Amino acid sequence: MIAIFYLVTKVITLVVLIPTNRFFAKFGYQRTMIASYLIRIISLGAIFYTSQYPNLIWPVMFIEAIHTGLFWPTYYTLLSRYAVKSKMGADLGILQLMLQIVAMLSPALAGFISVQLGLSVLFLFGIAGTIVGLILSMMSGSTIEKDQISWQEFLDWMGEPRYSRMAIALGGRYINDAIIYIWPLYVFFILGSVDKVGYLYTIALFMAFLVTFFLASVIDKIHSHRLFRTSGGILSILWLFRTQIIGPWSIAFVDATNALVSNFHWLFFEMQLMRRGKGSQAFSYFIYSELISAIVGIFMWSVVGVIFLIGKGWTSVFLAGSLAVLLSTLMTERRVINHTA
């Protein structure tokens, strides 16, 4: 059912991404962000009631697809516009630090709340957090996007070898992130307790926070793609280790190591992605990145659904995660096409 949820969501995203962004681009970034937050509030509210009305999950898929398609391209476009290219790593590192301060506390708090008050109550806290984002977006300036997006341009970009190589790297990252989404479910099956999963992730994220704190000051000085590939190799091996996990201590080892290594790998990945996106067609660049994720997501969740239906289970999924991380190392810092800086 999880695979079906994300599969349907990605199919909807693929269909509505370009039309909805064409429409909202006329109103500027601020209104687009506000709309995306309002849509997310509706989505979380609907999910809260799914325990009483399970069929609400179907409109949630549509609502989530609209939210994702509006929020992330706008978010990344604004980030690329205001970030200084020579300090891109430091800017992203500081942003990641801020997010991880919240992320460190969230799993343990979420585990505690779900045990004491029920899992559905977590979505009310999600609404509260979204309202904060909504208020902050109302305080931002509004810029009208003049960049035009189309399927034809996307296909033209995909025909360029450097862009198609980057598309494979983006696909690898999406598959890794998607499997990371369902990894806590596997941990829950082993630990048998939601709060234990939360406490374990808080410890791992605290270690990640310390690594990010150091990386934020030095990431722009690191130009070695070899180190990036090495970190990808380690993350790939960690997915293989996950196939052999049998208890809490092995989970703690894998998650702690993953937290230490992945912060550099994905921060370096994001830095290169953002640097390649700076330019007059940043909006197109990030819209098409979301299209790539939707296309890869449709394929990936279809395969995952089949894997679980035929009973092959988690081992095959983790092997896919191992390969996906290796694909992410194809990301380079070269220009995508001559329209981007």
CA dihedral 109, 115, 118, 120 (to 10 degrees): 50
Q: Give the pLDDT mean for 261-286.
A: 84
Crossing angle (nearest 10°) for helices 248-277 and 57-82: 50
Q: Choose among 166, 212, 164, 219: nearest CA to 333.
A: 166
Instruction: Calculate the alpha carbon distances from 271 to 68, 72, 80, 87, 234 in Å.
Output: 21, 16, 10, 9, 20
Position 99 confidence tier, pLDDT thresholds 50, 70, 90: low
Count each helix (H run) and each strand (E run) in the chain, helices first. Answer: 12, 0
Q: Give the pLDDT mean for 102-124.
A: 74
CATH label, 2-328, candidates 1.10.12.10, 1.20.1250.20, 1.10.1660.10, 1.10.10.60:
1.20.1250.20
Contact 114, 195 (CB under 8 A): yes
Q: Give the pLDDT mean for 217-238.
A: 76
Distance of CA 129 to the CA centre of its chain: 18
pLDDT at position 181 is 83
What are the residue boundaries of the structural domains of the chain, listed by start? Answer: 2-328
**Residue 322: both structure tokens together:** 């191992």
Burial grade of 301 (CB within 10 A; 0-12, 13-18, 19 or more):
buried
Instruction: Calculate the alpha carbon distances from 187 to 73, 122, 168 in Å.
Output: 31, 19, 29
CA–CA dist 179, 116 (Å, integer): 28
Contact 67, 40 (CB under 8 A): yes
Residues 6+ apart with CB under 8 A from 229: 329
Instruction: Judge whether residue 277 has pLDDT over 70.
Output: yes
| Residue 279 bridge partners (DSSP) | 340
**Residue 284: both structure tokens together:** 């197109």
Helix, strand, coil percentages for the chain (3-state, nearest 5)? 85, 0, 15
pLDDT digits (tens, 9 = 90+) for 192-204: 665 555 566 666 6
pLDDT digits (tens, 9 = 90+) for 43-81: 999 999 998 899 999 999 999 999 999 999 988 888 877
**Residue 259: both structure tokens together:** 């937290």
Q: Concatenated DSSP letters for 103-136? A: HHHHHHHHHHHHHHT-GGGHHHHHHHHHHHHHHH
Q: What are phi and psi of 178, to 5 degrees?
A: -65, -40
pLDDT digits (tens, 9 = 90+) for 3-22: 999 999 999 999 999 999 99
Q: What are phi and psi of 118, to 5 degrees?
A: 110, 150
CA–CA dist 164, 64 (Å, integer): 27
Instruction: Judge whether residue 338 has pLDDT over 80.
Output: no
Contact 114, 188 (CB under 8 A): no
Q: Choose among 134, 148, 147: nearest CA to 30.
A: 134
Q: Concatenated DSSP letters for 235-272? A: HHHHHHHHTT--SHHHHHHHHHHHHHHHHHHHHHHHHH
pLDDT digits (tens, 9 = 90+) for 241-269: 888 877 777 777 787 788 778 877 888 88
